[in-house]
């Protein structure tokens, strides 16, 4: 095809388009704020006035479960080390009793918080290393095995 088959746009059309484009760019610049305000977090309000950490949904049983479980586990380690090193029999016996008492109280506290024993058993279906509750349930399970 020859050059003449496609007429060149007129110069005035090109200028009008450029002016319209400039007008649209100016209008868009007015709509967009020049400086965007990012939210600033604080310990009291968090981001967007939402708390940084959710309120816990559990009751007093769970802190007691963690505490008693920790005491029972520590007593079990003390009993084991005491037996290996030939420590006093009274120390080993008392540590084992404390460990047994903790192993009996921990499931009761956990089941009390969960509401019914079936929920405790349901927690055994999932093994999550990042969940203290899951780890506690599995430790209790193996402690009694």
d(CA 2, CA 67): 91
Q: Which pLDDT does position 97 carry in this prediction?
A: 97
d(CA 61, CA 108): 9
DSSP code for 49? G
Token code pair at residue 44: 């009291």
d(CA 97, CA 102): 9
Q: Which pLDDT does position 12 carry in this prediction?
A: 61
> For 25-63, how does the pLDDT look when each residue is reduced to its tens digit (9 = 90+)?
888 777 766 666 666 777 777 777 777 777 777 789 889
Token code pair at residue 20: 């319209």
Token code pair at residue 133: 């509750």
**Direct distance between the N- and C-terminal alpha carbons of the chain, in angstroms, rounded to an integer:** 90
3-state SS of the chain is CCHHHCCCCCHHHHHHHHHHHHHHHHHHHHHCCCCCCCCCCCCCCCHHHCCCCCCCCCCCHHHHHHHHHHHHHHHHHHHHHHHHHCCCHHHHHHHHHHHHHHHHHHHHHHHHHHCCHHHHHHHCCCCCCCCHHHHHHHHHHHHHC
pTM: 0.53
Per-residue pLDDT of the chain (145 residues; tens, 9 = 90+): 445 554 545 556 667 888 888 888 888 777 766 666 666 777 777 777 777 777 777 789 889 988 998 999 999 999 999 999 999 999 999 999 999 999 899 888 888 888 888 887 777 777 777 877 677 777 766 655 5
């Amino acid at each position: 095809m020859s050059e003449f088959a496609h007429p060149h746009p007129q110069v005035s059309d090109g200028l009008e388009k450029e002016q319209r484009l400039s007008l649209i760019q100016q209008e868009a610049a007015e709509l967009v704020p020049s400086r965007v305000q990012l939210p600033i977090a604080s310990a009291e309000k968090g981001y967007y006035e939402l708390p940084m950490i959710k309120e816990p949904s559990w009751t007093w049983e769970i802190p007691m479960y963690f505490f008693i479980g920790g005491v029972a586990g520590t007593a079990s380690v003390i009993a084991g080390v005491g037996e290996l090193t030939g420590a006093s029999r009274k120390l080993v016996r008392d540590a084992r009793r404390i460990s047994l008492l903790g192993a009996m109280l921990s499931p009761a506290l956990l089941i009390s918080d969960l509401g019914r024993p079936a929920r405790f058993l349901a927690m055994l279906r999932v093994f999550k290393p990042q969940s203290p509750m899951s780890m506690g349930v599995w430790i209790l399970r193996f402690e009694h095995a």
